[in-house]
Amino acid sequence: MGLHGLTTILHPVYTARCPAGFATDLSHFLPVARTSRTNQVLVIGLVVAPVLALVGLRGDPTGAPFVLTALGLVLTVAGPLLVSRLLSEPNYDVILGWDPEHPPADWQAARDRWIALNWIRGALTWVAFALFLAASYAHLA
């Protein structure tokens, strides 16, 4: 599904749920999302592909294709990797620590953090993708 589906489809579904429903839904969703081989392969691909492109473009490290690809790689590492590892994963631990039948009184803070971090990761990924497209266009031009 990816971040686009998560932010545009699942966010509205999950945020419409009552506290117990939200906690129950995420207690089912997060363990799968955390261990999904598909997610792991996609993130590895998001990092490896631009690295390979940079190796191919190393002959002109000041050219637009190289610079745009390098910037895209930085955003990819910042979004799916660093934001996920340093901010999202600890928030998942908080949510998964709840008793779904009795979420804490401040459950909305963790929900809002979950939503915001997904949007941040999504935005960084989409901007990185735009930079990769621009790099491809610059390389072909």
State the pLDDT at residue 1. 52
Q: What is the pLDDT of residues 1-56, one digit of tens each?
A: 566 677 778 888 888 999 999 999 999 989 998 888 988 898 889 899 999 999 99
State the pLDDT at residue 3. 65
Q: Where are the domains of the chain?
A: 2-140
Q: What is the pLDDT of residues 64-109, one digit of tens each?
A: 999 999 999 999 999 888 999 999 999 999 999 999 999 999 999 9
Count of positions (residues) in the chain: 141
Rounded distance between C-alpha atoms, residue 125 and residue 80, angstroms: 7
State the pLDDT at residue 109. 96
**17 backbone dihedrals φ, ψ, rounded to 5°:** -80, 155
Residue 108's closest CA among 89, 90, 91?
91
pTM for this entry: 0.87
